[in-house]
């Protein structure tokens, strides 16, 4: 057997078995040869897929490396026939993944940047606490209990999960041996002591529950790296038992610092703190405060720390939040249980589970260890929908018909005709996005089972169904909206200047847009001077919120393949500038391909001129309870002000006011505005400058110029 036809690959290609069982078998074989190491802080790093053409990790699950197999044919020609069999199998899988779920309508819309959907596996929040607190032996008992109850021809599913648990145990045994071997030859006293603690931990975990915080962190990090390094979720909750029983507080602090370093080294995603239970009892604990203090000391841009607040959040925690935000790391991002929990309950998630929500990735909302909710399934750019309405379904940048035929906008006699055309385009793009997401979900469910996550997400073992195929308790979806304020401002400008005041005709406006306002400077000034969203202008706010409400309503009419409905949110990640470059001139006065675009539910950058109260009143015109994903509200403050006790008090008061009014999410960038401008000119002098982007924090100098310009253009909120 050549090295390319190894045991993991051979197990995975057992076509006489169900795919979930084959995946589990391959995982068990991969565990035997996985590359194991202890990092600089003596935490276990596990790389599945070492010495094999297979790869297993978030977000895709098990995949084959076709290129590696092709190379194997050249190196081992005697195995070429067998390798060809494997290559054709994986090529077929890739064809399903990349082509089959994309309709022609979707391809056109995606090409125009009007939407995207599917194409990746999505973030998730497995309950690592299941093994931290029960051990694999405890999970096996759950598995066996439900295997006896579910006799409907799904024993192959349980065998696949058993093999995945075997893989976890094998890695744990190998890590124990590795720690013993490294400790024997280690001369560094600090590392030697840490290796001794690791060896002691892996004598017990992962088979049995962690007995202190050090052993809990070792088994957590082992599982986290085996899964592919995604989002830790409610870390202060499932790690609390081990933290609370640990007697050596210096060792606890040392371990937390070490794991914070490795979170940063691997750019881990979302770690969620605090929250409430279904009776509104506060769930803040000592570990919550320890983490906030450490985040403020380390000043890392990762992991992406989020924190849940509610009616009974202690004032002590509010102060710790303000102290951490004042450091300028842009974290924690704040979420309001008073809005998120009712939003989840509105789509059928009971309070006992809605209050167990967390975030993953940038800011997508998940139920910790109980759901697979896409995260995210796709995205819709409102501005392109408006362009399609103005150009009878054409993309003005390419001239190609991409949207629906909704009529010649130059002949529209009323604003209602224009608005109706826009809504039809928005409906079409949204439905296409959902359909594509569902086709992709179906493909993943059929071709990409994940027995590892099935062991760590409630519902899967209980139902005898895979994580990707309806196993989790909740299978809702999440589609994001972008360019909200730009679209609302454009619709209002047309209503006011064309249909109400009749200063311009639609024919003149479209000609000006075609010319990128060259020769139409006066018209552009009028458009720019129109009232903008974010200034508490009722007319603009009403038009903008009507578009968002239509989007959210259409989403909930679409059911997901996983077994739920779609909900919406707003978070651009790093895509705001790219979206801006995909848009032509708009009736809000923006020029063609301008990268400055609204990167949250707030105003166009720099267009909110009436202070924070007006901005908040505009943003609260949306029904935040109808948004089931992160509804990001970006704000920016002067570091000189926030770094004072008075400034922190005002920031806390502003956040509380926003949440009391029904706001869902609140994100803060604290920076000296002059530093942002200087950092573009002298990046080497500002290597430590951190800003909030589209749901996560990053070093400013790492961002492309369009994103930097977007952040610079955001209004600096004055607190007084």
pLDDT tens across 160-188, in order? 999 999 999 999 999 999 999 999 999 99
What is the spatial distance between Cα 555 and Cα 347, in angstroms, rounded to a whole number? 12
pLDDT value of position 319? 98
SS3 269: coil
What is the spatial distance between Cα 545 and Cα 382, in angstroms, rounded to a whole number? 12
For residue 1, what pLDDT band results from cuts at 50, 70 and 90?
very low
Average pLDDT over residues 92-113: 78
pLDDT value of position 511? 98
Contact residues for 261 (Cβ-Cβ < 8 A; gap 6+): 40, 41, 298
pLDDT value of position 559? 96
SS3 63: strand
pLDDT, averaged across the chain: 94
Average pLDDT over residues 392-400: 97
Q: Is the pLDDT of residue 548 over 70?
A: yes
DSSP string over 105-131: HHHHHHHTTSEEE-SS-------THHH
Q: Is the pLDDT of residue 72 over 90?
A: no
Q: Is the pLDDT of residue 258 over 50?
A: yes
Asked whether the CA dihedral 412, 417, 423, 429 is positive or negative, the reply is negative
Tell me the CA distances in angstroms from 79 to 13, 50, 70, 262, 398, one per residue in order.
Answer: 15, 20, 11, 41, 48
Average pLDDT over residues 340-365: 97
Q: Is the pLDDT of residue 573 over 90?
A: no
Average pLDDT over residues 567-594: 94
More confident residue, 82 or 490: 490
Per-domain residue ranges of the chain: 274-350+632-713, 378-631
699 φ, ψ to 5°? -70, 130
pLDDT value of position 3? 59
More confident residue, 707 or 201: 201
Q: Is the pLDDT of residue 30 over 50?
A: yes
pLDDT value of position 202? 98
Average pLDDT over residues 187-208: 98
What is the spatial distance between Cα 624 and Cα 631, in angstroms, rounded to a whole number? 7
What is the spatial distance between Cα 631 and Cα 365, in angstroms, rounded to a whole number? 10
Query: Tokens 């869902």 correspond to what residue?
Result: 664
Q: Is the pLDDT of residue 2 over 60?
A: no
SS3 26: helix
pLDDT value of position 100? 59
Structure tokens given for 153: 């021809």
Kindly give the pairing relationship between strand 477-482 and strand 634-638: unpaired
**Listed residue (518, 599, 30, 37) closest to 266, CA to CA:** 37
Q: Is the pLDDT of residue 398 over 50?
A: yes
277 φ, ψ to 5°? -95, -175
What would the pLDDT profile of 216-253 be if each residue is shown by its tens digit? 999 999 999 999 999 999 999 999 999 999 999 999 99
Average pLDDT over residues 65-74: 84
Q: Is the pLDDT of residue 95 over 60?
A: no
Tell me the CA distances in angstroms from 103 to 43, 109, 428, one per residue in order.
Answer: 45, 10, 13
What angle (nearest 5°) sits at the alpha carbon of residue 55, between those of residues 96 and 179?
160
Kindly give the pairing relationship between strand 357-360 and strand 44-47: unpaired
For residue 413, what pLDDT band results from cuts at 50, 70 and 90?
very high
- Residue 353 half-sphere exposure, CB side, CA atoms within 13 Å? 20
Q: In what order do the strands lie in the sheet with 716-717?
A: 270-274, 304-309, 333-336, 665-671, 634-638, 716-717
pLDDT value of position 184? 95
pLDDT value of position 242? 98
* Rg over CA atoms, the chain: 26
pLDDT value of position 97? 56
More confident residue, 505 or 698: 505
Among the listed ranges 31-40, 100-109, 131-140, which one has the minimum average pLDDT value? 100-109
Among the listed ranges 10-14, 99-103, 200-204, 416-420, which one has the minimum average pLDDT value? 99-103
Longest dimension (CA), the chain: 85
């Amino acid at each position: 057997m050549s090295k390319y036809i190894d045991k993991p690959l051979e197990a995975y290609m057992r076509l006489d078995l169900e795919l979930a069982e084959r995946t589990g078998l391959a995982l068990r074989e991969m565990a035997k040869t996985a590359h194991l190491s202890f990092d600089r802080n003596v935490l276990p790093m596990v790389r599945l897929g070492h010495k094999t053409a297979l790869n297993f990790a978030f977000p895709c699950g098990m995949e084959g490396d076709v290129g590696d197999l092709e190379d194997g044919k050249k190196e081992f020609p005697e195995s070429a026939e067998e390798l060809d069999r494997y290559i054709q199998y994986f090529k077929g899988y890739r064809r399903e993944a990349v082509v089959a779920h994309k309709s022609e309508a979707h391809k056109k819309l995606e090409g125009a940047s009007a939407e995207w959907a599917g194409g990746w596996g999505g973030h998730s929040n497995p309950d690592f606490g299941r093994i931290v607190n029960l051990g694999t032996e405890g999970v096996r008992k759950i598995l066996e209990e439900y295997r006896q109850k579910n006799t409907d021809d799904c024993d192959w599913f349980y065998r696949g999960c058993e093999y995945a648990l075997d893989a976890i145990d094998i890695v744990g045994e190998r890590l124990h041996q590795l720690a013993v071997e490294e400790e024997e030859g280690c001369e560094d006293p600090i590392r030697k002591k840490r290796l001794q603690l690791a060896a002691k931990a892996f004598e017990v975990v992962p088979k049995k529950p962690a007995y202190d915080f050090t052993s809990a962190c070792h088994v957590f990090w082992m599982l986290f790296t085996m899964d592919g390094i995604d989002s830790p979720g409610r870390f202060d909750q499932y790690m609390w038992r081990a933290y609370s029983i640990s007697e050596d507080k210096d060792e606890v602090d040392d371990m937390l610092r070490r794991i914070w370093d490795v979170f940063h080294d691997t750019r881990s995603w979302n770690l969620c703190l605090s929250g409430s239970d279904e009776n509104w009892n506060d769930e803040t604990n000592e570990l919550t405060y320890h983490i906030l203090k450490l985040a403020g000391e380390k000043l890392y841009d990762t992991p992406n720390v989020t924190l849940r607040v509610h009616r009974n959040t202690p004032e002590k925690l509010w102060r710790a939040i303000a102290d951490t935000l004042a450091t300028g790391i842009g974290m924690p991002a704040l979420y309001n249980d008073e809005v998120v929990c009712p939003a989840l309950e509105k789509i059928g998630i009971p309070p006992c589970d809605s209050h167990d929500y967390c975030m993953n990735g940038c800011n997508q909302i998940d139920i910790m260890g109980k759901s697979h909710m896409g995260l995210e399934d796709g995205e819709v750019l409102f501005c392109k929908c408006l362009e399609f309405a103005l150009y009878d379904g054409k993309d003005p940048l390419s001239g190609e018909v991409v949207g629906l035929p909704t009529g010649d906008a130059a002949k529209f006699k009323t604003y209602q005709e224009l608005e109706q055309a826009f809504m039809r385009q928005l409906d079409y793009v949204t439905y296409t996005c959902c359909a594509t997401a569902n086709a992709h979900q179906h493909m993943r469910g059929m071709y990409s089972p994940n027995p590892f996550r099935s062991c760590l997400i409630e519902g899967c073992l209980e139902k005898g169904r895979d994580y990707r195929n309806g196993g989790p308790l909740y299978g809702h979806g999440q589609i994001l909206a972008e360019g909200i304020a730009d679209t609302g401002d454009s619709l209002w400008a047309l209503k006011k200047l064309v249909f109400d005041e009749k200063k311009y005709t639609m024919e003149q406006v479209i000609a000006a847009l075609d010319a990128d306002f060259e020769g139409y400077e006066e018209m552009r000034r009028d458009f720019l001077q129109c009232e903008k969203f974010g200034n508490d202008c009722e007319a603009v706010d009403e038009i903008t919120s009507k578009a968002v409400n239509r989007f959210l309503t259409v989403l909930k009419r679409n059911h997901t393949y996983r077994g739920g409905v779609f909900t919406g949110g707003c978070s651009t990640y790093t895509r705001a500038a790219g979206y801006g470059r995909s848009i032509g001139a708009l009736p809000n006065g923006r020029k063609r391909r301008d990268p400055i675009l609204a990167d949250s539910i707030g105003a166009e950058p720099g267009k909110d001129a009436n202070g924070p109260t007006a901005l908040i009143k505009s943003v609260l015109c949306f029904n935040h309870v109808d948004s089931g994903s992160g509804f990001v509200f970006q704000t920016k403050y002067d570091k000189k002000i926030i770094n004072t006790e008075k400034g922190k008090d005002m920031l806390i008061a502003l956040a509380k006011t926003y949440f009391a009014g029904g706001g869902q999410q609140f994100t803060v960038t604290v920076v000296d505005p002059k530093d942002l401008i200087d950092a573009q000119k002298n990046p080497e002098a500002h290597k430590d400058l951190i800003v909030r982007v589209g749901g996560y924090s990053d070093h400013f100098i790492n961002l492309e110029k369009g994103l930097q310009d977007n952040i610079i253009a955001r209004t600096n909120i004055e607190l007084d």
